[in-house]
Amino acid sequence: MRRVSVYLLVALCFVVGAAAAVDAAVVTDRERMEEFIDSVTGRVSESRIDSALSYADPSKMPIELVHEGRSKRYGDRNAAKLKPDARQALATLEGSKLHLIQESVSLDGERARVALRLRTEAGLANTVFDLRRENDRWLLRRVIIN
């Protein structure tokens, strides 16, 4: 009886260890959204902007930027303008810190919406990011900044 208990204990440890390893290896969509939120908050710098822009690929998924009621679309033809335009738009915030006050993440199959309320040195900002999954990669479709 004692030998059977030892074998059961070893088997149980193996199953629990395997389950923990699989859980650690699998990144959920929610965890990916947390990584995205980390990339768009914190101290504004050139590398932080590049990190956030890694979620944008206008040649694969056109992206719309809406700021102060004005909308601009980036696609195949003007994909190269996205990075310099984003850097120019965020130039006034460079060096300041975006503090996350509130977040809302909505996942629906291949679509995600991340709404953030941020505190900046200039006041509060509300941002909404619409993303879509393309082959296990989340890409930005629309960014709304109020």
Residue 26: what pLDDT? 53
Residue 22: what pLDDT? 38
> What is the rounded average pLDDT for all residues in the chain?
82
Name the pLDDT band for 13 (thresholds 50, 70, 90): very low
Name the pLDDT band for 45 (thresholds 50, 70, 90): confident
Q: Which helix (H) or strand (E) holds 142?
A: strand 137-145
C-beta neighbour count of 36 within 10 angstroms: 21
Residue 121: what pLDDT? 84
53 contacts 83 by C-beta, under 8 angstroms: yes
Q: Which residue ranges form the domains of the chain, and what is each CATH number?
A: 28-145 (3.10.450.50)
Q: How many Å apart are CA 73 and CA 66, to the nearest integer?
A: 9
Poorest-pLDDT segment among 12-16, 38-42, 81-85, 116-120: 12-16
- 135 conformational bin, left if phi > 0, alpha if psi -120 to 50, beta if neither: left
